Amino acid sequence: MKHMLEMTCDELSAAIKALGLPAFRGRQIFQWIWDKRVGDFAAMTNLSRDLRERLAGTMTALTGRIIRSREASDGVIKLLIEWPDGERIETVMIPTRPGEAPSARRTACISTQVGCAVGCVFCASGLEGVSRDLTAGEIVEQVYLWDTQPGAARVTHVVLMGMGEPLANYEATVAAVRILIDPDRGGLSARHITLSTVGLPDQIRRLAGEGIPLNLAISLHAPNDELRRRLIPAATGVSIDELIDAGCEYFSRTGRELTLEYVLLAGVNDSPACAEQLADLTRRLRCNVNLIRYNPVAGLPFSRPAEREVVAFRDRLRRLGANVQIRASRGADADAACGQLRRTGVSS
């Protein structure tokens, strides 16, 4: 049966009717799931006990099981989730720090695959390769789980920046986004969702035609093809020029500026020459640059540049006319920061 979080109200009503029950029960269940964020039949109190027990034996809204929760000193929380087939992924909640505005902002960083095939040499997510794609329901379920944690406020923003390459799981990713922005289901604004991709030009162009004004971030990490292919093995067949062209088309069709993500690795991609080459690229595309301090991964031979080097790299880019910021590092002491998520949970 289709994952219940993938079902529209009409689809759920039809599924309920197929069980020999009146269709209006489907509408009741839909309201419990989405209006009240209750995915447990036992808690749907306007259904009879017999009916709740019957439904619990045939259908489920939540298929994942939280194996472990870990909280960082800055309030970031990471969940390790296990699916019925035994596969596991990690997802992260990034709340606004106390005193920051807007105080109610809660950003869910979600995964789209079990593992990752991209193989960025500085990232933990691809160390065990990729096992399978997540379904649209499993992608949405990560947001739903954050919404339904005890005492939690609703998720306000979503970043598809967890494990996996979203555009390599294109159909499920787009279907999940449509559920998340559906006013009757997820209820989020598309402008509050960011999709991060290593850069698949054909899929970027296809995404531009979906009519969804998502924020698109390209994981660049190097300002020239030679270095990028060393850092991102999956980039071997895609040039930066192709990415820039696809990014320009995305902007022209959606009106959304892109973000170029750039993880700074000490002595690798943080030189003045790299800054100058990166600035040249920004002149060809309506974009902002997000500088990300490398988050250490045990066993990998990289280190984070000194803070003065990070600031110097940013300032050089600004002098050269680039729009650039340094992304705040959050969750590192719980292995919940960018590049630290794993499918096995061994980092937890």
Residues assigned a catalytic role: 90, 338
CB 73 within 8 A of CB 124: no
Please choose, from the candidates 285, 287, 286, 260, the residue with its C-alpha nearest in 3D space to the C-alpha of residue 274.
260
Secondary structure element (H or E) that encloses residue 15, with its range: helix 9-18
Whether the ω angle into residue 102 lies within 30 degrees of 0, i.e. cis, is yes
Q: What 8-state DSSP symbol labels residue 30? A: H
Question: What is the rounded distance in angstroms from the CA atom of residue 142 to the CA atom of residue 133?
Answer: 14
Question: What is the rounded distance in angstroms from the CA atom of residue 174 to the CA atom of residue 156?
Answer: 18
Distances (CA, A) of 34 to 5, 31, 141, 220, 324: 9, 5, 12, 37, 38
Question: What is the rounded distance in angstroms from the CA atom of residue 266 to the CA atom of residue 270?
Answer: 6
Question: What is the rounded distance in angstroms from the CA atom of residue 322 to the CA atom of residue 279?
Answer: 6
- 106-109/157-160 β-pairing: parallel
Please choose, from the candidates 143, 137, 198, 188, the residue with its C-alpha nearest in 3D space to the C-alpha of residue 166.
198
Structure token digits, residue 345: 């949970």
Q: What 8-state DSSP symbol labels residue 337? A: S
Question: What is the rounded distance in angstroms from the CA atom of residue 218 to the CA atom of residue 199?
Answer: 6
DSSP string of 314-329, one letter each residue: HHHHHHTT--EEEPPP
DSSP string of 40-87, one letter each residue: -GGG-TTS-HHHHHHHHTT--S---EEEEEEE-TTS-EEEEEE-TTS-
